[in-house]
Amino acid sequence: MKTIKLFLIALLLFAASSTQAQVSVNVNIGTPNVNVRVGTPPVWGPVGYDEVEYYYLPDIQVYYDIRLAEYIYFGNGQWIRSRYLPSHCRNYDLYHGYKVVLNDYHGHAPYTYFNTHKVKYYKGYKGKPQKNRGEYKVRYEDHDNHDNDHHDNGHHDNHGGKGNNGNGKGGKH
């Protein structure tokens, strides 16, 4: 009888040592602050709308979720959320394109009203003039291909990198 007790104790110890206990404790004190913003508006977003959740980009028919920093677009028969614009929109200029600020929508699916938005805010739509939150920045891809593109960027620097006529003296060209 004593050996059976020892065997059962050994079996219990073995079983206890081979299993792992996972304990999760979640303590919430008080009420959550619903005014805490997860995301901040992007630098290409219009000034004066810090409390909105979505922009609609009519030229490319894409939404932007400010809180999650995600684009929302229709593709492959469904609405897709992504950190990046869809491939057919990658050359779209977010700084100069018009952003419709959706003041009246608070939820998770602004595309519910897509049929209304695409008619009211058609491709090429321009409302009130907008000023961006930040300065225009040349995208990374533009730097990679600077030797291969033949676009006139408006910078005609014949100064030899010296900021003047190349002769060490200031003056006009």
- Quick one: pLDDT at residue 17? 52
| Cβ proximity of 63 and 54 under 8 Å | yes
Partner residues linked to 63 by β-bridges: 56, 72
- Quick one: pLDDT at residue 63? 98
1 pLDDT exceeds 80? no
**At a CB cut-off of 8 Å and minimum separation 6, what does 126 contact?**
98
Domain boundaries along the sequence of the chain: 54-122
Dihedral of the alpha carbons of 7, 12, 14, 15, in degrees to the nearest 10:
140
Res. 155 pLDDT band, cuts 50 70 90: very low
pTM for the model: 0.58
- Residue of 66, 137, 62 lying closest to 96 (CA atoms): 137
d(CA 15, CA 19): 6
- Residue of 74, 77, 126, 76 lying closest to 99 (CA atoms): 126
- 33-84 residue pLDDT tens: 344 345 799 999 999 998 899 999 999 999 999 999 999 999 999 999 999 9
Res. 113 pLDDT band, cuts 50 70 90: very high
Q: Classify 70 as helix, strand or coil.
A: strand
**At a CB cut-off of 8 Å and minimum separation 6, what does 6 contact?**
none
Give the DSSP H/E element, type plus range, for residue 55.
Answer: strand 54-57
Can you say whether the dihedral through the CA atoms of 118, 119, 123, 127 is positive or negative? negative
Res. 12 pLDDT band, cuts 50 70 90: low
Res. 6 pLDDT band, cuts 50 70 90: low
